[in-house]
Amino acid sequence: MISQTFYCEMLSSLTRAMLSSSSPPPSSHLLLTHSSHCLKTPNLSHRQCKQQKRWTHGSQRASRVVAYYGLKEPPYKLDALEPYMSRRTLEVHWGGHHRNYLEGLNKQLEKSDILYGYTFDELVKATYNNGNPLPEFNNAAQVWNHDFFWESMQPGGGDMPKLGVLEQIEKDFGSYTSFREKFIEAALTLFGSGWVWLVLKREERQLKIVRTSNAICPLVWDDIPIICLDMWEHAYYLDYKNERGKYVDTFMNHLVSWNAAMVRMARAEAFVNLGEPNIPVA
Amino acid sequence: MALRALAARKSLAGSGFQRILGARGLQTFSLPDLPYDYGALEPAISAEIMQLHHQKHHQAYITNYNKALEQLDAAIAKGDASAVVKLQSAIKFNGGGHVNHSIFWNNLSPVKEGGGEPPHSSLGWAIDQSFGSFDALITKMNAEGAGLQGSGWVWLALDKELKKVVVETTANQDPLVTKGASLVPLLGIDVWEHAYYLQYKNVRPDYLKNIWKVINWKYASQVYEKESA
């Protein structure tokens, strides 16, 4: 389905650069099937691209301007999170749900005239349309959310955050224990399907715990997500059935990747001034 | 998992047994029995799902609903308006969950007790009028159920004002009346993932296709006839 002409890879975050998958298949997010020249002249691009199409022979598909997104693999093997999250769950969650959202999104983008050339973050914000989400939002946001989720976990995760992240947590929540309690409570009192996030709020320059329903992602409020937890039933049902509490505990104890959190905080600090560094006097 | 007697079946007409509790007479709720075995709906819905769904999920809604009601009672007695308002979402969610699931158990019945047999007489007639044919209704409900984002329910309802049957969806555990005060639920299908995940995984359309084999149209017809009289 993805054309053989050249593609341009746009990596939208430091995280992705650092956590790039070691195995071959599509790890990039944005594949263009036509010259990127088209995108630089947005006023005419649409029409111009369509006119240029007539000159090529070969399949129509190869010369139309479309944006396809590839399915990103989690940065670990599917059984690497055992016994806390089974391989079966990863297979169905990533290979089924996540893949379906992505394929749905690509199908929708095929028909869309205006939604191309975006980085993934921008696509989520654009389709959110300031609170009036377009039909593509659900798929786009869910793909983003799940990508973020896989990267928020690691084999041998859990434990405690360190260094800057720990300092910031202690500053904004009092202590790690207090943060952990609040996070778990937020997860357990979520009604219906949704996500729990630790985000850095730009204006308030603070870490906050945020809950979202269904597919909503804090990107749309311009927050910077640090870690997230999927509270849709499909995320835990095969392993924990109805025991949400156990799932959330296990996530905090054994799965959450504070390394990923550190990378994201480091990047976030480029955008949010969290305070002066401690420079020793002499 | 024992067979349930006819007496128990009648008790499902309300919302489960109600106990009087406390000086003000606060009624609390308890888990209604299923009118069939957990395994009676196989292979459409597995026994494991039925047991978890009934004993864990529905029970949790009831427990939390009772808790919320007690807290509400206390807040009303104290005249604490903001506490009363704060409890509303918990009541809507857990109370709705209890109401919806109580209807749901009645909407299902084993094949050997008539599950899956299409409706005749007045309800069948009304369906043909509103949707063209029985199959068209199934197709529509399956489409709405599969297309529902997140968690929720898909309903076949009688609109008492318009005097016709309609298909509606509700999110999370919102009861049908939140979509219209004149709507009476005839059939509800739970499309929360817990209702099908262990058996059908992420293939919700398969679950929807198969659940029709155990739908209790007799109950739906009874409700329809009573409410449209």
Distance from the A196 Cα atom to the nearest Cα atom in chain B, whole angstroms: 15
| Residue B53 counted as an annotated binding residue | yes
Could you tell me what percentage of chain B is helix, strand and coil, using 3-state DSSP and rounding each to the nearest 5?
55, 15, 30
Residues 6+ apart with CB under 8 A from A110: A66
| pTM: predicted TM-score of the whole model, two decimal places | 0.80
What pLDDT is stored for residue B147 in this prediction?
93
Residue B120 annotated as binding site: no
Average pLDDT over residues B139-143: 96
Contacts of B201 in chain A (CB under 8 A): 92, 96, 238
Strand order through the sheet with A194-201: A206-213, A194-201, A224-230
pLDDT of residue A64: 60
Q: Which chain B residues contact residue A215 at CB under 8 A?
A: 149-150
Judge whether B107 and B45 are in contact, CB under 8 Å.
no
Q: What is the mean pLDDT of chain A?
A: 80
Is there a contact between B107 and B220 (Cβ–Cβ < 8 Å)?
Answer: yes
Give per-residue pLDDT as tens, B151-178.
999 999 999 999 999 999 999 999 999 9
- The closest alpha carbon to A234, from A140, A69, A95, A76, belongs to A95
**φ, ψ (nearest 5 deg) of residue A155:** -65, 140
Chain A residues touching residue B52 (CB < 8 angstroms) = 241-242
Q: What percent of chain A has pLDDT over 70?
A: 76
Whether complex ipTM tops 0.85: no
Q: Which of B7, B28, B52, B69 shows the shortest CA–CA distance to B196?
A: B52
Reported as a single tens digit per residue, the pLDDT across B15-58 is 444 554 445 578 889 999 999 999 999 999 999 999 999 999 99
- Helix boundaries (H) for chain B: 6-11, 47-51, 59-78, 81-107, 121-131, 134-147, 197-200, 204-211, 217-227
CB A211 within 8 A of CB A196: yes
Q: What would the mean pLDDT of A95-102 be, rounded to a whole number?
A: 94
Q: Is the pLDDT of residue B71 over 70?
A: yes
Q: Give, for A258, the enclosing helix (H) or strand (E).
A: helix A258-268
B172 shares contact with chain A (CB less than 8 Å) = yes
Is the domain defined by B44-228 classed in CATH 3.55.40.20?
A: yes
Q: Kindly list the domain boundaries of chain B, sorted by start residue.
A: 44-228
Confirm whether residue B57 is marked as ligand binding. no
